[in-house]
């Protein structure tokens, strides 16, 4: 969430980056996770 707050997110592109209402970060826009380990593998912005 510190990374999100460092961006100027005028268009709310990262609106789904919300660890309060959706803690499944693998479902967030631009976030890719390994299907087996559920580890974060890529953040593509």
Condensed to tens digits (0 to 9), the pLDDT of residues 12-41 reads 878 888 989 998 999 999 999 998 988 989
If we measure between CA atoms, which residue out of 2, 33, 30, 6 comes closest to residue 16? 30
- Per-residue pLDDT band for 7 (boundaries 50, 70, 90) equals confident
The domain locations on the chain are 1-45
The token pair that represents 44 in the structure block? 């593509």
String of DSSP letters for 9-30: -TT-TTTT--TTT---GGGSTT
> Considering the entire predicted model, what is its pTM?
0.68
């Amino acid at each position: 969430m510190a990374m999100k707050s460092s961006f100027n997110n005028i268009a709310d592109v990262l609106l789904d980056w919300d660890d309060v209402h959706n803690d499944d970060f693998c479902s967030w826009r631009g976030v890719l996770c390994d299907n087996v380990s559920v580890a974060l593998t890529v953040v593509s912005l």
